[in-house]
Every structure is written in structure tokens, then in C-alpha cells.
């Protein structure tokens, strides 16, 4: 797709090594793979959009004027001797409202990317869901914002999280998931 510009920003192994001192080349390759996977999915979405655009009467010239760009990068959120948490960020200019964050956490002792269950145990969903509900209710009382917890399905294996500097998981809920969009993404620290 020659009209599509994709910019993938990924630091080199040397840059990461200088920043983290203990992260291996394999971790950098994993991060690169995470970024590449997002870019491939975004390119597929843009290609499908182009097909629909042209099928509904748009021209190649009009399409080229869209100046579609896909940008992917990552940021390290937390790095301790126990965990490295990062977020892969993707934005797609063909729909200015479309951006996505994907969170990943590495156990520095095992070298494995982990899930919330690995941190909180088998009852992770119930534990995290209850704490999110309690914190959201407290926020609602404090701010007057109406949280829609009745429709929320609770924390699942797919719920985003990262580890904070205190070693606690922070559950990240997407915009509109339990609150009006103006509240943005919401974060809830889960204590064990």
C-alpha cells in the first residue's frame, strides 16, 4: 500500500541496555514484535478502509489526500528489580480518534511476560474486580461522576495492567468502559 506511511519507533538494543542495565536483546526483540504486530493490524485496518472508500465512489486522488499515517512507539512505565512494565502506543491518523495502548509486564527474575493471574493468583479476577468496584464507588462519591458498574463484566484475562514502583498491579480500564468518555482511561491500583 504505497499511499500509507508507517512510522515505527523502536530504540536499539544498545539504547534499551543503557536505560535498563539488565534487559536482554530478547526483550528488545519481543518489544519490537509487539510494535510490529500493532503496525500490521493497523495497516490491515487502513487497507480495508481504503477498499471501502474506493468501493463507495472515492477516487485514488482523494484517497492520497488523506495522508494516512500509523505511528507505533513504546514507553517504559516501571522498572524495578522485579518487573519491567511497558506500554505500546499506536495512533492512526485516518481516524484521529483512534489510538490504542497495549500493556506488557516482564518478570525480571524469570524473563517471562506475565499476566495478572501470575501476580494475584487464581482468584485474580474476583480480587481485582472487587477492588476496582470499591475504588470506583469511592471516586463516584468524591467527584459526582456516574460510574456504570452494573454493566461492567469485571476484570478478565484480557484486562490491561502494569506493575507500579510499589510492586502492585495497576488495572487500566478503557475510556467508556465504566465511566463517561471525558474521564478517559481509568487506573486502579490493586493491593494484595
User: What burial class does residue 134 get, using C-beta atoms within 10 Å of its C-beta: 0-12 exposed, 13-18 middle, 19+ buried?
Assistant: exposed
189 falls in which pLDDT band (50, 70, 90)? very high
152 and 81 in a single domain? The answer is: no
Per residue in 21-46, pLDDT tens? 556 667 777 888 888 888 888 888 88
CATH code for the domain in which residue 179 is found: 3.90.640.20
Residue 133 belongs to domain spanning? 115-192
Amino acid at each position: 500500500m504505497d499511499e500509507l506511511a508507517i512510522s515505527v519507533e523502536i530504540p536499539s538494543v544498545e539504547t534499551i541496555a543503557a536505560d535498563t542495565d539488565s534487559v536482554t536483546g530478547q526483550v528488545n526483540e519481543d518489544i519490537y514484535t509487539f510494535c510490529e504486530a500493532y503496525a500490521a493490524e493497523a495497516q490491515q485496518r487502513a487497507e480495508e478502509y481504503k477498499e471501502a472508500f474506493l468501493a463507495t465512489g472515492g477516487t485514488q486522488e482523494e484517497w492520497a489526500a488523506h495522508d494516512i499515517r500509523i505511528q507505533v512507539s513504546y514507553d517504559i512505565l516501571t522498572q524495578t528489580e522485579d518487573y519491567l512494565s511497558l506500554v505500546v502506543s499506536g495512533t492512526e491518523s485516518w481516524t484521529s480518534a483512534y489510538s490504542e495502548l497495549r500493556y506488557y509486564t516482564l518478570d525480571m527474575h524469570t524473563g517471562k511476560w506475565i499476566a495478572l493471574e501470575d501476580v494475584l493468583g487464581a482468584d485474580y479476577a474476583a480480587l481485582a474486580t472487587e477492588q476496582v468496584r470499591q475504588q470506583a464507588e469511592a471516586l463516584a462519591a468524591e467527584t459526582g461522576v456516574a460510574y456504570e458498574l452494573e454493566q461492567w463484566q469485571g476484570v478478565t484475562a484480557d484486562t490491561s495492567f502494569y506493575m507500579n514502583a510499589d510492586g502492585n498491579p495497576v488495572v487500566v480500564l478503557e475510556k467508556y468502559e465504566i465511566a463517561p468518555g471525558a474521564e478517559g482511561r481509568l487506573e486502579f491500583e490493586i493491593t494484595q
